[in-house]
């Protein structure tokens, strides 16, 4: 996409929950060895939302720095991707739109397809900007991963939101064509409307993920994609960080390239720094991997970086981005490091109480304690309506 047809990520910001449960603390309850968590699944801690945090507050926290840096005059669309939606009708992005003080002449839509939804939003945003290069699109991915207590998936939980500003002449990364696509109807992971926690068939989900890696790569090649040797490295959706290493092995095998475990570790480890301490954040996970890579030590000016997005059920996509020269001056490394460092550690008993305390579903008024560290919070619920507090910039 030469010249003024270049479209991509102009800014990227993320936020996570105010609390953190380490796997050292979790292991005291489960009796599992730390090696099972640290080496087995590649996780060291999980972000836990405070009682007054949800996908909306995290989304607003992630997006506010983007609005403050760039303003909102050119934003015409907000696309909110999540698989832990708070309402069957109203888009979570409408709440975030209000908290951020965005003007009324903006369309707001929520997208859903498991963990893949943010990539759909990013591609839809790129198409809108291609059509009208003077506009910008705010893409937000926000999720809280929850599994049944004492289940195998509990150790992979996490929470985060990523906000990306999509623009012509992007300062961080241009989105390339083509994409490789793959869809297969499979029940590997799902959450019916009547459940608060997801259901997962671990072995089936692993197989479906790896099949999607192969399927997307073959489709990418069938549409004249780049050779594997032209791609510096790949960021993967990380339901747990060891999954990215398995996926890269699958990609290389599919592309007919042999590689050592050491070489794979060298390629993938820089993408896991944030996910290993935040946990699975569903739609946000892939873009936390991208943030970790960009904010690492390696100079990526003009490098081509692949992205593999997977959403159970299943839909997947492989595409590439070209990193913009000088991208480092636009990153938020210090802010992201601080967001992770300032989380308050909790013990397992506190985590358990937070999990067991739920909002009323009968419409009665309920106030929440002020625990959130950020500018936005869920203050309570009344008459089946969620009540938010926080900084609302002027329009």
Active site residue 237: yes
Which position among 115, 154, 182, 235 bears the catalytic label? 115
Active site residue 115: yes
Which position among 83, 110, 295, 317 bears the catalytic label? 83
Cα angle at 117 between 93 and 332, to 5 degrees? 70
Output the six-digit token pair for 394. 């002027």
Active site residue 61: no
Instruction: Specify the DSSP class assigned to residue 41.
Output: I
Sheet with strand 376-382: strands edge to edge: 366-367, 376-382, 385-390
Q: Whose CA is closest to 136, among 44, 55, 72?
A: 72
Rounded to whole angstroms, the Cα distance separating 270 from 292 reads 6
Q: Which residue do the tokens 């068939």 mark? A: 201
Crossing angle (nearest 10°) for helices 202-222 and 242-254: 40
Spatial contact of 170 and 6, defined as CB atoms under 8 Å apart: yes
Output the six-digit token pair for 318. 């492989």
Rounded to whole angstroms, the Cα distance separating 55 from 142 reads 5
Spatial contact of 191 and 79, defined as CB atoms under 8 Å apart: no
DSSP assignment string, 189-238 = EE--TT-SS-EE-HHHHHHHHHHHHHHHHHHHHHTTPPPGGG--EEEE--
Spatial contact of 242 and 264, defined as CB atoms under 8 Å apart: no
Rounded to whole angstroms, the Cα distance separating 342 from 231 reads 35
DSSP assignment string, 104-128 = SS-EEEEE-BTBTHHHHHHHHHHHH
Sheet with strand 45-48: strands edge to edge: 45-48, 19-22, 344-345
Which position among 237, 248, 276, 336 bears the catalytic label? 237
Query: For residue 16, how many C-alpha atoms fall within 13 Å in the half-sphere facing its CB?
Result: 33
Active site members: 83, 115, 237
């Amino acid at each position: 996409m030469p010249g003024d047809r270049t479209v991509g990520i102009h800014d990227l910001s993320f936020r996570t929950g105010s609390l953190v449960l380490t796997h050292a603390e979790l292991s005291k309850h489960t009796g599992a060895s730390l090696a099972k968590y640290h080496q087995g699944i590649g996780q060291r801690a999980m972000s836990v939302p405070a009682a007054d945090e949800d996908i909306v507050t995290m989304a607003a926290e992630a997006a506010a720095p983007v609005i403050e840096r760039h303003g909102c005059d050119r934003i015409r669309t907000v696309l909110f991707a999540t698989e832990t939606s708070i309402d069957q009708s109203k888009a979570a992005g409408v709440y975030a739109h209000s908290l951020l003080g965005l003007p009324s002449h903006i369309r707001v839509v929520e997208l859903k397809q498991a963990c893949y939804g943010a990539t759909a939003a990013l591609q839809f945003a790129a198409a809108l900007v291609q059509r009208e290069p003077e506009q910008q699109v705010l893409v937000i991915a926000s999720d809280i991963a929850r599994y049944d207590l004492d289940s195998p998936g509990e150790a992979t939980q996490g929470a985060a939101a990523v906000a990306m500003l999509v623009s012509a002449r992007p300062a961080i990364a241009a989105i390339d064509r083509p994409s490789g696509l793959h869809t297969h109807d499979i029940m590997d992971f799902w959450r019916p409307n009547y459940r608060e926690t997801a259901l997962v068939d671990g072995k089936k989900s692993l197989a479906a993920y790896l099949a999607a890696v192969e399927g997307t790569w073959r489709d990418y090649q069938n549409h004249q994609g780049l050779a594997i040797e032209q791609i510096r490295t790949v960021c993967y959706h990380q339901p747990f960080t060891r999954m990215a290493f398995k996926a890269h092995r699958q990609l290389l095998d599919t592309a007919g390239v042999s590689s050592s475990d050491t070489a794979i570790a060298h390629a993938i480890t820089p993408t896991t720094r944030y996910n290993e301490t935040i946990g699975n954040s569903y739609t946000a996970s892939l873009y936390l991997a991208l943030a970790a890579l960009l904010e690492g030590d390696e100079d990526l000016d003009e490098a081509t970086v692949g992205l593999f997005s997977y959403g159970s059920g299943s839909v997947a996509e492989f595409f590439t981005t070209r990193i913009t020269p000088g991208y480092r001056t636009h990153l938020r490394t210090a802010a992201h490091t601080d967001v992770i460092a300032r989380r308050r550690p909790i013990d397992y008993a506190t985590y358990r109480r937070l999990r067991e305390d739920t909002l009323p579903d009968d419409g009665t008024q309920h106030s929440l304690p002020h625990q959130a560290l950020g500018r936005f919070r869920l203050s309570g619920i009344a008459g089946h309506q969620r009540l938010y507090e926080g900084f609302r910039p002027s329009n």
